[in-house]
Amino acid sequence: MAQETNATCTPWKTADWFVSPWNYADEITKDFKPPKKVKIHDVTLRDGEQQAGIIFTKDDKIRIAEKLAEAGVHRIEAGMPAVSPMDEAAIKEIVKHKLGPEIFCFSRCMVDDVKRAADCGADGIVIEIPASKELVEQAYKWPMERAIDLSIQATACARENNLYTVFFTIDGTRAGMDFLLNLVDKVAKEGHMDAFTLVDTFGVLSPHGARYFTRKVRERVKTPLEIHFHSDFALGVANTIMAVLEGAEVIHSTVGGIGERCGNAPLEETALALLTLYGINTGLHFGKLNELSRLVADLAGIQVPQNRPFVGEKAYSIESGIVTNWFRNAYQENPTTVFPVHPSFVGHETPQIVLGKKSGIDNLLIWAEKHGLSIAEEKQLEVVARVKKASHDLKRNLTPAEFKRIVEDVQAGR
């Protein structure tokens, strides 16, 4: 459906969504400082593939990149050339396709990695450096000076190769704030930095911490800010939103939230929350989201949780009798009274009314009409009772054949 443009349209209620008007109260929004434009930097092909057990082939990566372009993402982080010859070949092929989005590579703070990215024809590069004392000393076994020197050399090399350079401090949220900002200053002055990424590698920020982090960095760092937050406490979306409201301009996200350990901020939920709850439009083609989600899940060999917002198979399914009653009464003329975001807006199939233990008369009537059955009014409660019992015993919803058999038995007095 097309978003309403008439005078009665409000940010919280359009033809495509209906959320709380409280989200837009002046008392709530007065301190928001979002940028004029928010971009999506998709990391599905790099950080997404880092989820244990996910492997994308070269052809898989090309197909996903094509679908990401159709969905309107602004950048695609196509991979890390140093990982394998297959990854390097995939990046080069994606660049050749000229899909529209900018193509970025990810690299360690090493000159050779940067040169590989340049050889791939990438538009930009994300250069990582470990930033917390514990990670550097305990995980890398490096002196901090080495990490700094390597970052200065690598970022300078990126500038020499005309790569848009994003500086990326691993585990930044567990580093001391002064140490982190001094590190960024040093690399920016002695090396090169077009943008700086706020990185919550282990997903350990709270939403309020994310806001504080962004504000403090903004006070010192004048280049554009990017956001790369993980979801170990399931706060990737909330933290990303808080950073955007403090002025961060580029969101790193993955399709379905796949990624290292518990994953990254999911593209679908982040972009839709910004659009509907905050009035911030990233410009995605939202109707492509389900198609994109299915492709990534299929190629990754994973199952999308059935109740995942907007893209889960049963995100728009109803079993309970009371909600089915709402659906029968309101959906045709006022669909967002029943679903906060219209299924067609995100490319989801039409809502499904299923039959099970929690169903009522309204479910029964919808199923009877759908399957061409006529059930006498005095028999309807008995049919519902048998449906509930059968669903309970089977521990699942009923199939059309099972429903028809129950109706036949009740009608025949069996």
**Mean pLDDT along residues 262-271:** 98
Per-residue confidence (pLDDT) for residue 3, from 0 to 100 = 42
Per-residue confidence (pLDDT) for residue 4, from 0 to 100 = 42
Per-residue confidence (pLDDT) for residue 139, from 0 to 100 = 81
**Residue 214 and residue 247 in contact, taking contact as beta carbons nearer than 8 Å:** yes
Which residue type, as a one-letter code, is found at position 293? S
Q: Residue 8: pLDDT band by 50, 70, 90 thresholds? A: low
Q: Kindly report the backbone phi and psi dihedral angles of residue 200, in degrees, each rounded to the nearest multiple of 5, phi listed first.
A: -110, 75
Task: Render pLDDT for 167-177 as a digit per residue (tens, 0 to 9).
Answer: 999 999 999 99
3 dihedral zone (left: phi>0; alpha: psi -120 to 50; beta): beta
Express as a percent the part of the chain with pLDDT over 70.
Answer: 98
d(CA 70, CA 72) in angstroms, rounded, equals 5
Per-residue confidence (pLDDT) for residue 175, from 0 to 100 = 92
d(CA 382, CA 411) in angstroms, rounded, equals 10
Q: Which strand (E) or helix (H) includes residue 41?
A: strand 39-42
d(CA 260, CA 294) in angstroms, rounded, equals 20
The CB-side HSE value for 159 (13 A sphere, CA atoms) comes to 16
How much is the pTM?
A: 0.94
Per-residue confidence (pLDDT) for residue 136, from 0 to 100 = 78
| CA separation, residue 1 to residues 28, 33, 290, 327, 348 (Å) | 29, 30, 15, 18, 12
Rounded to the nearest 10 degrees, the angle between the axes of helix 267-278 and helix 289-300 is 160
Tell which residue, 253, 252, 242, has the closest CA to residue 277. Answer: 242
Q: Tally the residues of the chain.
A: 414
- For residue 90, pLDDT over 60 is answered with yes
Strands (E), 302-342: 317-318
Q: Residue 140: pLDDT band by 50, 70, 90 thresholds? A: confident
Per-residue confidence (pLDDT) for residue 1, from 0 to 100 = 38
Q: Angle at the Cα of 349 (from 346 to 354), degrees rounded to 5?
A: 130
Place of tokens 């989820």: 51
Mean pLDDT (the chain, rounded): 95
- For residue 2, pLDDT over 50 is answered with no
Q: Residue 394: pLDDT band by 50, 70, 90 thresholds? A: very high
**Residue 200 and residue 206 in contact, taking contact as beta carbons nearer than 8 Å:** no
Q: Residue 277: pLDDT band by 50, 70, 90 thresholds? A: very high
What is the β-pairing status of strands 352-353 and 317-318?
parallel
**Mean pLDDT along residues 149-172:** 96
**Mean pLDDT along residues 328-345:** 97
**Residue 264 and residue 258 in contact, taking contact as beta carbons nearer than 8 Å:** yes
Tokens representing residue 3 in the block: 């978003």
- For residue 119, pLDDT over 80 is answered with yes
d(CA 217, CA 199) in angstroms, rounded, equals 12
Q: Which strand (E) or helix (H) includes residue 251?
A: strand 250-253
Q: Which strand (E) or helix (H) includes residue 105?
A: strand 102-107
Tell which residue, 387, 382, 408, has the closest CA to residue 399. Answer: 387
Q: Which of 3-17, 91-105, 351-365, 369-383 has the lowest mean pLDDT?
A: 3-17
**Mean pLDDT along residues 301-306:** 96
Per-residue confidence (pLDDT) for residue 308, from 0 to 100 = 97
d(CA 261, CA 51) in angstroms, rounded, equals 6
**Residue 32 and residue 245 in contact, taking contact as beta carbons nearer than 8 Å:** yes
* Domains and their CATH numbers in the chain: 21-300 (3.20.20.70), 317-411 (no CATH)
Task: Render pLDDT for 14-62 as a digit per residue (tens, 0 to 9).
Answer: 999 999 999 999 999 999 999 999 999 999 999 999 999 999 999 999 9
Tell which residue, 351, 393, 357, has the closest CA to residue 370. Answer: 351
d(CA 287, CA 58) in angstroms, rounded, equals 26
d(CA 249, CA 91) in angstroms, rounded, equals 25
